[in-house]
Each structure stands twice: as structure tokens, then as C-alpha cells.
Amino acid sequence: MKKILILILFSATVVNAQKQNPAVPLPTKQQLQWHEMEFYLFVHFGPNTFTDKEWGEGDEAVDIFNPSNLNCDQWCRIAKASGAKGIIITAKHHDGFCLWPSKYSTHTVGESKWKNGRGDVLKELSTACKRHGLKFGVYLSPWDRNHHKYGTPGYNDVFVNMMKEIFKNYGPVWEFWWDGANGEGPNGKRQEYDWNRFEKTIRQLSPNTVVFSDIGPDIRWVGNEKGIAAGTNWNLLDTAGFKRGLGAPPNDTLQSGNVNGKNWIPAECDVSIRPGWFYHSKEDDKVKSAEELFQLYLKSVGRGANFLLNVPPDRRGLINEHDSTALVGFYRLRKESFQKNLALTAKGSLTSQTGTKSAPRLNDGNPTSFETVVKANLMQLKFEKSTSINCIILREYLNKGQQVKNFRILLMDGENNLIKEINASTVGRKRILTFPSTPVKSIAISIDDQKNSATISEVEAYLIDENLIERKD
């Protein structure tokens, strides 16, 4: 069986080597840093928190916004306790209410009775993030149901000036978040957004900020609000002919990306810890459990995307106890599951038609080292004794691009007999695959199809709680 298996593997290698295409998009330095963020929080907060709405009408009285005990340090402490690396806040949602005292709107915290009009949520959060070592991000809705200039060319000036205020007064801003909302609903005004101008403004003010929207330019929406990427997930996307909002690529394309996409625009998976995006007390018993969050982690980060989890503060201005309990439990599950990398005890090797050589960088625990896989498509980890595992993680070295199209994991016993075969497609920054616990003596990995020479930076193996194995979508 061993000889037949290796023959099959190398026949795929020869075909693959003949198909390689040297031109592939590469991530920027800022995008590489974004990939390493992995998991962070979204914070939907504003008048909707107090009206129990999801989309405000824009005619809410400014005094409705009046958190009794806003504490952004508490947000940050809980974010840190969950293992999140940053917080993105809805500085202005569709209702147009600004969480900072903008000079370009009369619908802001500056006009409210909260803190006698001297409150500034963005200042408090940006300061708290710096204090706690978290990245600070901003969501700014282009749709504004309150501003009198919305629907006219003058509104683009308003939006640009608001962005300038944010970058000048609250930076550095790590991620800037746009959606494509534009006058949805009956008799809604429509706006011709000057997206080119918006992008140029951010690049000029803060070139290190990564920008999110349906089509980037730096990060894309994953095509759903379930927090789930597709099993095949390319960090590449074609944007020619598409627009933000209604003109965006189809949702299934956003979920999977484009195998030969011209632009490096990786997917971000957004989802709320509650059924709604803003806090509603009636949903206190509907908060996703730690186990549910772990499943979403496997289907977002475990498929090469980043995980953006919305955790809305309550009317006190605090992360609610129900949410914080789930978040701390989620961190505990990740820590317990991935604290012991069993692959570190194995010997890594690469086997080609010319023989086998040692490949210690496959499993040295260092994601910045890598092995280049060209003709030696059989990667192997051999354990000294039979070892039970039910989770394998693969990583590509993204500095060299994303190359793996299809691969197989072969779980072998001590006689090199095949116990189990696992087929999968893309790898990207991190691919997590789980399966029922299996005692193995070696793990063989065959890259059956790749764009260019694959650079595998790490192969990890774990034995996690059997109840946490990935469930079907």
C-alpha cells in the first residue's frame, strides 16, 4: 500500500508542476498585519441601543442617547479577556447620530444631555484601547438618514470632513469600515457616493489604515452575516465592474473569493453574539454560547478569514454580563484546545522522487519559517509512538502569496497503512480541520494542485475536546 500511495501522490505532483503560473497578487505589509489580528470585536452602540431598533429613522431625539455608566475600559478589559486584539465601533450608523461632537452635523453627542453635551465616545474608546494595548477601528456609515445634505453632492464634503475629524482627533485608526447602505426603504433618498475621493482621503490621512467594504480595497465582506467563510476561501478578488452595496459581487463569490483574482482582498467574517446588532434586553437569554463561538472560529479563522464578533454595550454603556461570560468561556476553549501542539514532538520531512530529506520548518512552532513545496509534494510528520489527534492546522507563508488549491491529509498507522484520508481545498493564513479522534503514527500531506510553489509555514496537530469538532454549516 505504501508504494501505491506514494505513486499516486507523485503523479499529481508532476502534473501540478507543469501548471504553475508565476504571477500572483501579494498582500501589503498592512494586510499581513491585519491577517495576524485574527479575532476582534465589533461594537454597535448609539440611539438604537435606547429605542430597541436595529435601523434608526434619523429623527430620534438626541437626548435618547444617555448611557448611565459608560466605561470603555470595561469594554477593553473584556475584549482582552476574550483574546480579541481590537475593537471597531459604529461611530455613525444609518440614523446619522455621531458618537463624537462632529462640527459637520447637529445630530451628535454634543447636542445631547449626556455629560451635558461634553461627552465623546470615540475619545473615550480610542484612549482606552491605547491603554489596554488594543487596536482601534471605526465604522462610519455612508448612509445618513438625518443629515439635510444627504442625497446631494454636498454630502460627500460632509462625509470627507467627518473622516478627517476622526483621523485627526482619534487616530491611529487601524481599520476603517464601510458598508454599502444607500437610502434603503420606502421613499429613501439616494446618494452618489464619491468612493474614489473617500479612498484617497484615507490613504492621504492614514496610509497604514486598512479599509473594509464589499470590494475592499483592503478587506472584503464575506457575503453573509453569519460569521462563516466558505470551505474554499481565496484571499483574492476581482473588483472590475463591481461597486459597493447593490453593485457588489455575488455573495457566493464574496464567500469564496476568486482563484485567479487580480487583487489581494481577504475576507472578514462579521456576526453578532446576539440575534440583533444593537443591545436589546429581550435577547439576554439568546447570547451565543462559548461553544457556538468556537464553532464560528473554526468556520472563519479556520478557513483563512478573520473573525469580527459584534458585542453591543447595553444602556448602561457596559458589555452585558451575559455576553462577557460567553466571551471569557470562548477564550478558555481556545486556550485549552490549542495549548499543546503535538506536532512539535514529530519529525518533519519532505519526500520527492529523488528521496526524503529532513524538513524541520514544517513543525518548528515558528510561523515565520517555511518549507517550499515544489516537486516534493509529500510532507510528512512522524511520531515516535502512536499519538491520538483530532485536529490539524496548516498555514501558508502569505508573504509569498496563497498557492494551495487542493490537498489531502493522510493519517497513517505504524505500518504506513492509511487509516483516514481528509480532502480539502485552500489553506491561506490558517486552515483548521477537525475529525473524530484517531491514533496515528504519521501524518502525510499531499498538495495535489497549486498555483506556484507552495510555502508551508506550519503543520500543527492537537487533541481537542471531542464535543468541539466542527459541525456542518
Q: What is the CATH number of the domain that holds 384?
A: 2.60.120.260
Contact 305, 269 (CB under 8 A): yes
Same domain for 175 and 322?
Answer: yes
Q: Which of 288, 311, 338 is the last residue of a domain?
A: 338
The pLDDT assigned to 302 comes to 98
Q: In this structure, what DSSP letter does residue 103 have?
A: T
Contact 175, 135 (CB under 8 A): yes
Same domain for 149 and 267?
Answer: yes
Same domain for 277 and 423?
Answer: no
Same domain for 268 and 294?
Answer: yes
Cell of 455: 510555502
Total domains in the fold of the chain:
2
Same domain for 360 and 226?
Answer: no
Rounded to an integer, what distance in angstroms lies between the CA atom of residue 29 and that of residue 189? Answer: 39
Contact 121, 45 (CB under 8 A): yes
Upstream peptide bond of 172 is cis (omega within 30 degrees of 0) = yes
Does residue 319 form part of some domain?
yes
Q: In this structure, what DSSP letter does residue 284 have?
A: G
Does residue 28 form part of some domain?
no
Same domain for 136 and 234?
Answer: yes
Same domain for 56 and 196?
Answer: yes
Same domain for 217 and 105?
Answer: yes
Rounded to an integer, what distance in angstroms lies between the CA atom of residue 297 and that of residue 222? Answer: 14
Does residue 263 form part of some domain?
yes
CATH (domain of 128): 3.20.20.80
Rounded to an integer, what distance in angstroms lies between the CA atom of residue 232 and that of residue 255? Answer: 8
Q: Which of 291, 321, 338 is the last residue of a domain?
A: 338
Same domain for 257 and 398?
Answer: no
The pLDDT assigned to 460 comes to 98
Q: For the beta carbon of residue 260, count every other beta carbon within 10 angstroms.
A: 13
Q: Which of 272, 306, 338 is the last residue of a domain?
A: 338
Q: Which residues contact 287 (CB under 8 A, 6 or more apart)?
A: 273, 274, 320, 322, 323, 326
The pLDDT assigned to 66 comes to 97
Does residue 83 form part of some domain?
yes
Please give the residue range of the domain that contains residue 431: 2-21+340-463
Contact 244, 15 (CB under 8 A): no
Reduced to 3 states, what is the DSSP secondary structure of residue 191?
coil
Q: Does the predicted TM-score (pTM) go above 0.75? A: yes
The pLDDT assigned to 55 comes to 94
Find the distance separating the first CA and the last CA of the chain, reported in whole Å. 35
**What ranges in 232-365 are assigned the alpha helix state H?**
251-256, 290-300, 321-338
Does residue 60 form part of some domain?
yes
Rounded to an integer, what distance in angstroms lies between the CA atom of residue 145 and that of residue 151? Answer: 10
Same domain for 450 and 403?
Answer: yes
Same domain for 144 and 287?
Answer: yes
Q: Give the type of residue at 302.
A: G
Same domain for 353 and 333?
Answer: no
Rounded to an integer, what distance in angstroms lies between the CA atom of residue 413 and that of residue 387? Answer: 10
Rounded to an integer, what distance in angstroms lies between the CA atom of residue 343 and that of residue 348? Answer: 9
Cell of 453: 510553489
Per-residue pLDDT of the chain (473 residues; tens, 9 = 90+): 444 454 445 444 444 433 445 568 999 999 999 999 999 999 999 999 999 999 999 999 999 999 999 999 999 999 999 999 999 999 999 999 999 999 999 999 999 999 999 999 999 999 999 999 999 999 999 999 999 999 999 999 999 999 999 999 999 999 999 988 888 765 567 899 999 999 999 999 999 999 999 999 999 999 999 999 999 999 999 999 999 988 999 999 999 999 999 999 999 999 999 999 999 999 999 999 999 999 999 999 999 999 999 999 999 999 999 999 999 999 999 999 999 999 999 999 999 888 899 999 999 999 999 999 986 579 999 999 999 999 999 999 999 999 999 999 999 999 989 999 999 999 999 999 999 999 999 999 999 999 999 999 999 999 999 999 999 86
Does residue 157 form part of some domain?
yes
Does residue 469 form part of some domain?
no
Does residue 30 form part of some domain?
no
The pLDDT assigned to 9 comes to 52
Q: Give the type of residue at 222.
A: V
